Structure 1
Amino acid sequence: MASKMLLRPINIAFNAYRSHCGTNNLVHVAINEKTGIATVTMQRQPVNSLNYELLTELKSAFEELGSKKIKGAILTSSLKTIFSGGLDIMEMYQAKEDRAKAFWTALQDAWITLFSTPYPTVAAINGHSPAGGCLLSLSCEYRVMVNNYTIGLNETKLGIVAPFWFMSSMKNTISSRESELALTSGRLYSTEEAFKVGLIDEIAENKEDCLAKAEKFFLRFKGINSIARAFTKDRLRGKI
């Protein structure tokens, strides 16, 4: 059963979302009422592998934030060295047909929801981010990554063909030529390499610095009409 996210206040400055359908709070959402910035934190041990439940909670969280008057959302991880290890391989290994269909639908729904949010988004990448973790990062408008980690769509090294919308997300971020070279070879970029090709936008020293730089991204929209910004984003991304 899909997780259902409900809003629960926890103190005067923050709100949090939690699941009521048997999962273990795989996603935590906090809204800073002073800044209007939401922080969405993945917290599925041990590597934030993307299973049906985590993907469903992510989709629900970003959808719910769309109904709030926020200035933007930051996607990050509670884990020390991992942003997301990518798709949960157990969702694909000898999976029953109904579960497999539900999983791939949840994956695409989570991508569409994050990719098309009307509010600005930043990935604060505080650890390794291969495959599906990279996809989540590419779905955001801006990426800040802590130094000394890796990121990329490395599906070919696993004998998997990345869905076309994985590929389109990368081609929307870096050049088509660089995307071809990276996707066919399953390349994982270091933080510095990712910055050089434009896969990420800034490098951070640690998670605290990563979150601080992510928050600064939203300042560029001060004085920008939010509706005009949202429609412009939709026009730019709607063709992908």
Structure 2
Amino acid sequence: MALRSLTKFNFVRQGARSLSSTASLVSVEVNDKTGIATVTLQRPPVNSLNLELLSDIRYNLTELGKNKSRGAIITSAFKTFSAGLDITEMYKPDIERASKFWNTLQDVYEVLYGSAYPTVAVINGPAPAGGCLLSMCCEYRVMVPNSIIGLNETQLGIVAPPWFASTMENIIGKRQTELALTTGRLFSTDEALKVGLIDEVVQDKDEGLQKANAFLGKFARISPFARNVSKQTIRGETLKRMSKDRENDLKRFIQVITQDAVQKGLGLYIESLKKK
């Protein structure tokens, strides 16, 4: 797990400091010169979002906010950005853990989508479902070629929650979102760029980090207060609706994943993964 104190730094390279231990599911390095943090997801093998990984993400993003971060870059230690929500959290679930899992995902969304600091996703590999959500929460997205991104929940027999849909709609519009959600579409890198789901294509992660730092550098001379108020003006209504509906959203989630048909579909999907 992440270190529980921001005063416990381990120097990992010149000009940067680590906010978390090497055993963490999330590594955070803050550049001392720019104040920009690189948040790297590192739960093997593909950053499936289970309760523990989501808890680490929530903690570290919250701490960056408390310390008035100048910006955060979200990326992955692997060739997959994030494979999405961990299916095992929903298959034959323990209801108490499943509830905590969903509440933590809600927390991560509110912390990231509503962050006072600017954010960039460096999508260095596939980002389906929950991976797409994390990316969409950021204000700018760059992505490597020959990859995929999208909310493909319907392909698994489940439904993307309203706040997933609203977030996508805010980016690519209602019509494209409707088509994407009902078909469970996964966009290629070029397709995602065309519809505006991502902002730039980069050749590799290193170039992505350069582009991310360049974007965040634009805010160096802009009032953090004015920038954040402007962001909340755009995102505030979506956040308010999600926050107001959290309890009902949890109930819907539990109702969906406990349906026999959904359990059967998740079971078949897990079996298919074992054969790969």
Does the pair score TM above 0.5?
yes
Residue equivalent to 1:150? 148
- Equivalent residue in structure 2 for 1:15, among 8, 14, 17: 17
Residue equivalent to 1:93? 91
CA offset at residue 40 of structure 1?
A: 0.2
For residues 202 and 220 of structure 1, the distance between their equivalents in structure 2, rounded to whole angstroms, comes to 16
Q: If the length of structure 1 is used for normalisation, what is the TM-score?
A: 0.94
For residues 231 and 131 of structure 1, the distance between their equivalents in structure 2, rounded to whole angstroms, comes to 29
Cα distance, 1:4–1:92 mapped onto 2, change above 3 Å:
farther
For residues 104 and 69 of structure 1, the distance between their equivalents in structure 2, rounded to whole angstroms, comes to 27
What is the one-letter code of the residue matched to 1:15?
R
For residues 206 and 224 of structure 2, the distance between their equivalents in structure 1, rounded to whole angstroms, comes to 27
Residue equivalent to 1:57? 56
SS in 2 for 1:40: strand
What is the one-letter code of the residue matched to 1:194?
A
CA offset at residue 67 of structure 1?
A: 1.9
What is the one-letter code of the residue matched to 1:10?
N
1:187-226 equivalences under 5 Å are 187-226=185-224
1:171-190 equivalences under 5 Å are 171-190=169-188
Conserved in 2, the CA contact under 8 Å of 1:77 and 1:83? Answer: yes
Deviates more, 1:23-32 or 1:103-112: 23-32
For residues 217 and 23 of structure 2, the distance between their equivalents in structure 1, rounded to whole angstroms, comes to 34
- Larger % of strand: which? 1
Residue equivalent to 1:120? 118
For residues 3 and 89 of structure 1, the distance between their equivalents in structure 2, rounded to whole angstroms, comes to 24
What is the one-letter code of the residue matched to 1:6?
S
Residue equivalent to 1:6? 5
SS in 2 for 1:58: helix
Aligned residues: 235
- Residue deviations 1:176-207 (CA, integer Å, cap 9, x gap): 10000001000000101000000000000011
CA offset at residue 224 of structure 1?
A: 1.3
SS in 2 for 1:109: helix
- Residue deviations 1:141-165 (CA, integer Å, cap 9, x gap): 1000011100000000010101111
Moved over 6 A (4+): none
- Larger % of helix: which? 2
SS in 1 for 2:49: coil
For residues 161 and 4 of structure 1, the distance between their equivalents in structure 2, rounded to whole angstroms, comes to 35
For residues 157 and 19 of structure 2, the distance between their equivalents in structure 1, rounded to whole angstroms, comes to 36
Residue equivalent to 2:165? 167
- Percent of aligned pairs with the same amino acid: 54
Q: If the length of structure 2 is used for normalisation, what is the TM-score?
A: 0.82
For residues 10 and 4 of structure 1, the distance between their equivalents in structure 2, rounded to whole angstroms, comes to 10
What is the one-letter code of the residue matched to 2:33?
K
Structure with the greater alpha carbon radius of gyration? 2
For residues 145 and 226 of structure 1, the distance between their equivalents in structure 2, rounded to whole angstroms, comes to 26
SS in 2 for 1:173: helix
Structure 2 unaligned segments of length 5 or more: list them.
239-276
What is the one-letter code of the residue matched to 2:10?
I
Alignment of 1:39 onto 2:41: no
For residues 234 and 204 of structure 1, the distance between their equivalents in structure 2, rounded to whole angstroms, comes to 28
How large is the Cα RMSD of the aligned pairs? 1.6
Conserved in 2, the CA contact under 8 Å of 1:17 and 1:27? Answer: no
CA offset at residue 172 of structure 1?
A: 1.1
Structure 1 unaligned segments of length 5 or more: list them.
none
